[in-house]
Amino acid sequence: MLKEVRVSGLSIDPITHTPIVLLKDKENQEVIPIWIGLLEASSIATQLENIKLARPMTHDLMKNILDHLDVVVSRVEVNDLRNNTFYAIIHLSWNGVDLTMDARPSDAIAIALRTKSPIFVHEQVIEKSRKIDLAQREEGAEASDEKLEEILKDLSPEDFGKYKM
pLDDT in tens, the chain (165 residues): 999 999 999 999 888 889 999 999 988 888 999 999 999 999 999 999 999 889 999 999 999 999 999 999 999 999 999 998 999 999 999 999 999 999 999 999 999 999 999 999 999 999 888 776 443 444 444 444 455 555 555 655 555 554 443
pLDDT of residue 144: 47
Q: Which residues of 44-66 are buried (b: 16+ CB within 10 A; e: fewer)?
A: bbbbeeeeeeeeeeebbebbeeb
pLDDT of residue 29: 83
CATH class of the 2-141 domain in this structure? alpha beta
Least Cα distance to 113 among 33, 37, 51, 27 occurs for 51
pLDDT of residue 116: 97
Q: Domain limits of the chain?
A: 2-141
pTM exceeding 0.75: yes
